[in-house]
Structure formats: structure tokens, C-alpha cells
Structure 1
């Protein structure tokens, strides 16, 4: 069921039913819904649904607020219950992972495990990701003393999204350190002799940097004019950063119009190339 607002936006219900955490469903749904400019989903998430009683509660909610149903469910009886109820309600039901899993199964010539939340297994990869997140937080903003243990080192002047990009990469299992480029401050000497870590510079347009810095000062209730938000000084900082990156052959990324996810994706691509050269 859809409703329209006075500005012609369309609101519709999306029910996500998962026998795991629902993160996969949420990501797929939001990525898909973002392609429709004036349509906004009203999200209903039912996570860790693993019993008929839990499923029945979710389906009762679906009946009360008809809309699209997206699900990831291993148990065949529960899958069938979702499909049958949605057919009765005449609403679409989408088994989100089915096309991907069927293709993988055919390509690999192997059956599915049929295990709920299999991707969340507490295996070595999981613990490596936790370790990477801890590393990234411990090496934020020039902290920490084990740069050689990093896989990625991000450099950039203030407000080039170094910290959020580092944390995102850590969440992806990539040990990341970030170091600010501060006028007059020296960089760690070991930075210039490291071979294993990928060193990436982050830049942005002066206008964007000034805007973000001004907003930060306002949040701190600081409205004095300082070099920190002077556009000419910011331009000088950016020129210095770009020259430093070029001098040492470090790749750089302009983050002016990039989301954190897009910046991180570019870093991951660079890391893949870097690993093939060391």
C-alpha cells in the first residue's frame, strides 16, 4: 500500500524478515530504494526470526501494513509460509539472496549449507575484522606507534574525512592508520621508509574544507575568524599536501563529492593493486 504526501512523494511499506541480523536485507533494500527519487520506504525490520511463532507475529504486522516483503530465510517451511501469506495478501515477496546463491551453487557445483546466519560465524576472519577495527581506532589522528602494522595509512589536512574512512576500512577488516597534515608539524620519520602499507593522500576543494571547518567551529560555539577557516590558508594547506603526495609517489583521492563508502571503495581498489606489487 502506498500513500502520497502534499509534495507528491510516495511512501510505501517495506517489510524485511530475516533469520539473521537483517543487515544484508537492510543494505540491499536501501541501495535499491535510493534509485527512486520521490519514493520513500517505511521500514519494518524483523531480525532473528527463527520460530513459527516469531514468523507469525511478523506476518501479522505485514497484513496490518501491506507492502513489499523482502526476506532471507533458510528454513524451507518458513520460506513457504512467507510466500503463501504474501500470495494471499496479493503483495510481492522477494527472496533476496536466492539468485546469488543459486548462481554460486551452479558455478561451484556445490549445495548450500542451509545454515542461518552462516556469514556471522565466529571464525578467524571475524576476529581479524575486530582486530582491524581496534587497530584503526588506536591509530586515529596520528596516535599509536605501530605504523608498520598498518595495511593502509591515510594522510590529509583537517576535515578530509580521514577518521570516518579509517573506521569504515577497519570495519571491512583493513588495519588503517590516519595522520593529519598540520602546518609546521613534522611527520613520523618511519612513514618515508615503510614498504608494506599503502599510503594514500586525501584532498578536497578549498571551498568544501572551509565549509566543513566553519560548521565545526559553530558546533563548538567558536565564531572567531581564524587561519583555520581562512580560504587562502586552506588553499596553501592543500597545495602543500598535494606536493607532498606527488613527491613521494603516494596516490591521492579527492573526497569533495565522495561519500565515505565511495572513498573507502577507491582505497580498497588501490590496496588490491598495491598488494600485487609488493
Structure 2
């Protein structure tokens, strides 16, 4: 009989959690000098039969994170029958959750991996929004899921970041009469680009507050009413040329604008 200290880590997912727990416990015994054999993505009883057959003739423990009821039931029963020590690392905590919060677990494998994938997609989208904010790099326009265009202070950046947290890659381009918009903007599919407009009065109010916050005089050209009308007129012409949908953000919170935008794009098949 092999007397080597062995732990078989078994999971119906990747099994990273189980291995980390086993290593944490192992450090409390003989400096963590224990051999770990990893079995990931166990999906049927045949997989478990092979593991049990190996574990039966070794000086070992089976530590597992299996949430599929049929597999767990089989492993527990067979391990007991064969005199193998099998430890469920998840079930006691799941039962505590269920009892305390009065909810039933989904018992679906790989949910943690799905959460991780969502997290990394969100991080990637946020990084994209930062990199391609305010027309910094037009190369991002074709790679974006959504491109926002509009004059300054129409919530392009806050909306880009909000949508990024919903895992959309968003680029935005400011429209300024003195600066020709990038040619790439006119090559985009019309349903990818969204124009943001605002009433002149509201924009005047927002820009005055912005100047005040910066410690500048409110009479600056940035908040001049005629200048605002010129900018809005120019932006509207660009949006009509592109043929993109337009949202008036005058009295909308970023969340509300996002809802309108996503509903609009869904209707257009994006």
C-alpha cells in the first residue's frame, strides 16, 4: 500500500477553490508536504468510479467541490462503502446559506467561472472606454460596440463609463465646428453610432456651472449662447449625415439615457 500523503481534488468545475483550501490546510501539517492530484470538470459517474478506484488503494483523502446532486450522492455513498475519506468543501456552507437566507442553491457547476468571465469583460470594456474617450484615438471606432457623438457636456464620457460597466465597448467623439470629424465616423454602420443632443438653455446652464467650477468667467466663449447654437447646429448636421439615432439628454440621468439607448439599439438589431 502506498503510504504517501495524497489528496485527490475533485470538482465539476475548474476546482481552483478546492485546491486552494487543501493547500491552506496542508500547510498546517508537515509544512504542506502533501501531493495533490487534480480532477477537474467531472461530469459523470464513470469519472468518479475511476477516481475512487485509484483512491481506494492509496493513503489518501478526496476533497471535492461538486454541486450536481447525483454526482455528490454517488461519491458520498461509494466513498463510505469503500472506506475512503471524502470531504465536501462546499455543501456545509451552501446549507447554511439556504437555511439563513431562505433560498435554494442553483446547483449548477462553473457559475464562478461565468462570474469571472463577466468581470474581465467589464474591466476590458472600462479600459476601452478610457482609451477611446473624447476622440483620443480614432482606431477604436471600428472596434467599438457603440460610438457616441455630440458637443461638449452632453454626458458622452459618463454614459460611456456606465455602458462599459454593462460590458459594452464604447468610444465617443466630440463634435466641434472648427475640427472636422474623423472620416472613420462616416464608415461605421448607422446602428452603431448614437448622437446625443441637448437643449441650448440646458447646455448653457451646464457650461456656466462648469466654468464656475473651474474658476473661470461665465462669459467665456464656451458658455456663450450664440456659440452653443452654432455647435448644436453643426452637430445636428453631422448626425443627419451619418444617419444615426439621436437622443435628447436634456432632462435625463445617465442611467435613463442608457436605457433609452440600449432599447433603441436592440430594436435596430444590435
Output the TM-score relative to the length of structure 2. Answer: 0.59
Aligned to 2:121: 128
The CA distance in 2 between the partners of 1:207 and 1:256, in whole Å, is 9
Gap change, CA 1:232 and 1:138, over 3 Å in 2: same
Q: SS of the residue aligned with 1:200?
A: strand
The number of aligned residues is 177
Over the aligned positions, Cα root-mean-square deviation in angstroms equals: 2.7
Alignment check: 8 A CA contact 1:150 1:197 kept: no
Q: Which runs of 5+ in 2 are unaligned?
A: 1-92
Aligned to 1:238: 232
Bigger Rg over Cα: 2
Does residue 252 of structure 1 match 2:252?
Answer: no
The Cα of 1:155 is off from its aligned counterpart by 0.4
Does residue 155 of structure 1 match 2:174?
Answer: no
The Cα of 1:268 is off from its aligned counterpart by 1.4
Alignment check: 8 A CA contact 2:147 2:170 kept: yes
The CA distance in 1 between the partners of 2:259 and 2:162, in whole Å, is 10
Alignment check: 8 A CA contact 2:150 2:197 kept: yes
Aligned to 2:134: 141
Output the TM-score relative to the length of structure 1. Answer: 0.57
Match among 168, 171, 176 for residue 177 of structure 1: 171
Does residue 188 of structure 1 match 2:182?
Answer: yes
Match among 179, 200, 206 for residue 200 of structure 2: 206
Alignment check: 8 A CA contact 1:183 1:237 kept: yes
The CA distance in 2 between the partners of 1:82 and 1:267, in whole Å, is 36
Gap change, CA 1:224 and 1:195, over 3 Å in 2: closer
The Cα of 1:130 is off from its aligned counterpart by 1.5
Does residue 229 of structure 1 match 2:223?
Answer: yes
The CA distance in 2 between the partners of 1:187 and 1:213, in whole Å, is 22
Gap change, CA 1:224 and 1:214, over 3 Å in 2: closer
Q: Comparing both structures, which one devotes a greater share of its residues to helix?
A: 2
